[in-house]
Amino acid sequence: METHPSIDKAKAYFDLQLSRPPGERHVAVGPFVTISRESGTGGGALGEEIARRLNHMLSVDEPTWTIFDRNLVTRMLEDNHLSASLARYLPENKVSEIESSVGEIIGLHPSIWTMVHQTNSLMRRLAAMGNAILVGRGANIVTAGSPHGLHLRLIAPTEQRGRRTANIMGLSHEQALAFNRKADHARRDYVRSFFNTEIDDPSTYDLVVNMEFFTTDTAADLVVSVLRSREWIEIPQPAHAGLAAA
């Protein structure tokens, strides 16, 4: 069966990390990044671009930077020997309590709280292993106590986000605005429900980036520059390229 490229990348990441000697596993071998975003700000695209830039700077024997977004739940289910069909119970929002409770009562799946806890545990493992970019799901809160993390929040004006969503999804502008509102509400509800905090609390982020003033490329340049400025990380400058190297 053909798999999504992001799932293949996640598998390759784990295969490399688990090939390390046991004493080197699950320790801070590198930095990590979390990305929280308003809908339509391009969090996934920015994550991919950050990874591309950082991977261009790595030596051959270093683990590549890998982005985890939708493939995160897929990996959690595999790790816990659960059916891939359970992913539908874990959207990035507050799951319907009636729907989830019925499933738990008749034994269709573990409790939603258990699966969220398992997803959180996986994010902490990824943060500990390093070279991971975690998108959404309150990753900044889950990994707040982990060293070597850079936590981002992406925002942008409503109209700009609407135009971007409309272009990507082939929606009318009004449909795109409605989509963004629903997605933002769902993400806010997820963070409130499982972490009892607000998704847009600036104190939970290291950097809030207004994408009105940045392209994906310039935002990636900014993030890589901040990473390279941290005392706990050494990201070498490519010998023949700048930060925006291809």
| pLDDT greater than 50 at residue 240 | no
**Residues whose CB falls within 8 Å of the CB of residue 40, separated by 6 or more in sequence, listed in order:** 156, 160, 161, 162, 164, 165, 176, 180
In this predicted model, what pLDDT tens digit does every residue of 115-145 receive, in sequence order?
778 778 888 888 888 888 999 889 999 999 8
Geometric angle at alpha carbon 130, from 34 and 186, rounded to 5°: 25
- For residue 242, the model assigns a pLDDT of 43
Mean pLDDT of 61-78: 69
Please report the pLDDT score of residue 49 as a whole number: 95
Mean pLDDT over each residue of the chain, to the nearest integer: 75
Q: CA-to-CA distance for 147 and 149, rounded, in angstroms?
A: 6
Residue 170 · residue 164 · CB < 8 Å = no
Contacts of 36 (CB under 8 A, 6+ apart): 43, 136, 138, 139, 140, 151, 152, 153, 154, 187, 199, 205
pTM: 0.73
In order of their start, the domains of the chain are 5-19+27-229 (3.40.50.300)
pLDDT at residue 167 greater than cutoff 60: yes
* pLDDT for residue 169: 92
144's tokens: 């707040």
